[in-house]
């Protein structure tokens, strides 16, 4: 058992404000104060909005909306393409700030993380003070703003961080938590999508207060495993722990075929397709491995893997395609057909020399 203070944890949820857009405004100050959309350009087909700054949101522009619709809502909005490398760099820097206070950091995305500061590294003690310091460091060192939620569990910390955006700091303490949950509309509950929300409304469940009237058994009956979670969460109980950074060890893609394939042309086409899909992920994460592994599952369900490592990371898709083709051609099929092919990239060591656990100790930026 980990030491806990009266069993009460101190959890912070941090979420950057209008993240991609804020980085663009910071790096290109001429964009400041104008409605800004980061995402596909409206003239390009199928473009979607990744995010919009708060000026653009006034017009109703939201993430995941088509760029076309966004342009209709605000014809004067400025559209810029995302610069993932820049966002990733900021993300690493905010994480380095978090690690100054605790190693229990669970990133949820580039701009969002849970921190367990029940026992903080600097002995500050107050989770609110830590959240303030983190926000200040993000402002001073990165010229960006974040919103923080402070509470005794992940669920309420996350809800809290969203309550006073942008640049907010919201504390939901233990004495307020149950009343807070009673007022909360069911849509805001973790795991409640549109379907579940509709189902709840049919049962006259609109808020936490309504949920609280139902027994654990009834909730489980209605909503399965989530029902149990709802029963506890509405009473302010969420025991999910902050899971420290699960480092990505490999990036892969695989496909099971609808019918088994023999060695030959079609298999090579699939291999090319799967290699490209895996490499697309590599580009997304910008994590270049030095090892490529080919996985082959045969019709008798036997799995073999073949890999090859290089002194330098694989940075080009052509290189990856050449390697996987070679690995496949060297594989002995023993006359068996193939059910599945997979390609993975690993061994990111060289590409990521920075160690996040000590990155926060000194001023890196």
- Number of Cβ within 10 Å of residue 353's Cβ equals 6
- Among the listed ranges 14-22, 26-34, 75-83, 260-268, the one in contact with Mg ion (CB under 5 A) is 14-22
In contact, 254 and 274? CB cutoff 8 Å:
yes
Residues that bind ligand DCP (CB under 6 A): 15-20, 50-51, 63-64, 111-112, 165-166
| 16 belongs to the binding site for Mg ion (CB under 5 A) | yes
Q: Which stretch binds Mg ion (CB under 5 A): 15-23, 253-261, 301-309, 356-364?
A: 15-23
Binding partner of 51, given ligand DCP, Mg ion, none, CB within 5-8 angstroms per partner class: ligand DCP
254 given a catalytic annotation? no
Residue 14 interacts with, from Mg ion, ligand DCP, none (CB under 5-8 Å by kind): none
Task: Name residue 169's beta-bridge partners.
Answer: 148
The per-residue b/e assignment along 302-337, b for 16 or more CB within 10 angstroms, e otherwise, is: eeeebeeeeeebbeebeebbebbeebbeeeeeeeee
Q: How many residues are given for the chain?
A: 365
- If contact means CB under 5 to 8 A according to the sort of partner, which of Mg ion, ligand DCP, none does residue 356 touch? none
Q: Does 144 bind Mg ion (CB under 5 A)?
A: no
- Does position 38 interact with Mg ion (CB under 5 A)? The reply is no
64 binds, among Mg ion, ligand DCP, none (CB under 5 to 8 A by kind): ligand DCP
State how far the Cα of 340 lies from the Cα of 259, in Å rounded to an integer: 10
- Closest contact distance (angstroms) between CB of 273 and ligand DCP is 25
Least distance from C-beta 212 to ligand DCP, angstroms? 29
Residue 215, number of CB atoms within 10 A of its CB: 10
Closest Cα to residue 22, out of 46, 57, 68? Answer: 57
Beta bridge partners of 261: 338
What radius of gyration do the chain's Cα atoms show? Answer: 24
Output the CA–CA distances (angstroms, integers) from residue 187 to 94, 98, 200, in the order listed.
Answer: 30, 30, 10
Tell me the β-bridge partners of 14: 113, 148
Classified as helix, coil or strand, 348 is coil
> With CB cut-offs between 5 and 8 Å by kind, which of Mg ion, ligand DCP, none does residue 63 bind?
ligand DCP
Question: Which tokens in the block code for residue 253?
Answer: 């893609």
**CA separation for the pair 306, 327 (Å, rounded):** 7
Told to check if 20 binds Mg ion by CB under 5 A, we report no
Judged by CB, which is closer to ligand DCP: 50, or 160? Answer: 50
Single out the segment in contact with Mg ion by CB under 5 A; choices: 8-16, 25-33, 37-45, 201-209: 8-16
Asked whether position 111 contacts Mg ion by CB under 5 A, the answer is: yes
How far apart CA 5 and CA 125 sit, in angstroms, is 11
Cβ proximity to ligand DCP: between 165 and 199 the closer is 165
Of 19 and 79, the one with the shorter C-beta distance to Mg ion is 19
Preceding peptide of 166 cis, ω within 30°: yes
- 16 or 314: whose CB is closer to ligand DCP? 16
Of 91 and 156, nearer to Mg ion (C-beta) is: 91
Instruction: Say which entry of ligand DCP, Mg ion, none residue 106 contacts (CB below 5 to 8 A, set by partner kind).
Output: none
Out of 55, 112, 319, 350, pick the active-site residue: 112
Q: Does 19 bind Mg ion (CB under 5 A)?
A: yes
The smaller minimum CB distance to Mg ion, of residues 15 and 25, is found at 15
Contact region for Mg ion (CB under 5 A) — 11-19, 25-33, 203-211, 317-325? 11-19
Cross-strand pairs, 115: 12, 105
- Taking contact as CB under 5 A, which single stretch among the options 16-24, 135-143, 290-298, 344-352 is the one that binds Mg ion? 16-24
Per the DSSP assignment, residues forming a β-bridge with 116 are 11
Active site residues: 112
| Binding stretches for Mg ion (CB under 5 A) | 15-16, 19, 111
């Amino acid at each position: 058992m980990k030491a806990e203070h009266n069993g009460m944890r101190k959890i912070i949820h941090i979420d950057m404000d209008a993240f991609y857009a804020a980085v663009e405004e910071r790096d290109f100050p001429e964009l400041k104060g104008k409605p800004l959309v980061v995402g596909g350009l409206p003239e390009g087909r199928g473009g979607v909005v990744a995010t919009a700054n708060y000026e653009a949101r006034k017009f109703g522009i939201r993430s995941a909306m088509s760029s076309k619709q966004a342009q209709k809502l605000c014809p004067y909005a400025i559209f810029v393409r995302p610069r993932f490398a820049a966002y990733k760099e900021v993300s690493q820097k905010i994480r380095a700030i978090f690690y100054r206070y605790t190693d229990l950091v669970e990133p949820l995305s580039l701009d969002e993380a849970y921190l367990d500061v029940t026992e903080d590294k600097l002995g500050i003690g107050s989770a609110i003070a830590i959240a303030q310091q983190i926000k200040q460091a993000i402002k001073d060192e990165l010229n960006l703003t974040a919103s923080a939620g402070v509470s005794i569990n992940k669920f309420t910390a996350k809800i809290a961080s969203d309550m006073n955006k942008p640049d907010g700091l919201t504390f939901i303490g233990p004495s307020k938590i149950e009343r807070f949950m009673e007022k909360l509309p069911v849509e805001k509950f973790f795991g409640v999508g549109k379907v579940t929300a509709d189902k709840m409304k049919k049962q006259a469940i609109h808020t936490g207060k309504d949920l609280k009237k139902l027994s654990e058994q009834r909730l489980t009956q209605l909503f399965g495993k989530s029902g149990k979670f709802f029963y506890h969460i509405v009473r302010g109980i969420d025991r999910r722990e902050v899971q420290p950074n699960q480092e990505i060890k490999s990036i892969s893609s695989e496909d099971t075929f609808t019918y088994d394939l023999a060695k030959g042309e079609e298999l090579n086409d699939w291999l090319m397709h799967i290699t490209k899909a895996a490499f697309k992920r590599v580009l997304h994460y910008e994590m270049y491995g030095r090892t490529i592994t080919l996985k082959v599952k045969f019709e008798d369900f036997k799995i073999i893997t073949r890999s090859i490592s290089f002194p330098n990371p694989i940075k080009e898709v052509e290189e990856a395609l050449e390697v996987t083709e070679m690995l496949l051609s060297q594989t002995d099929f023993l006359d068996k057909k193939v059910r599945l092919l997979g390609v993975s990239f690993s061994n990111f060591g060289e590409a990521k020399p920075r160690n996040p656990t000590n990155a926060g100790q000194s001023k890196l930026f």
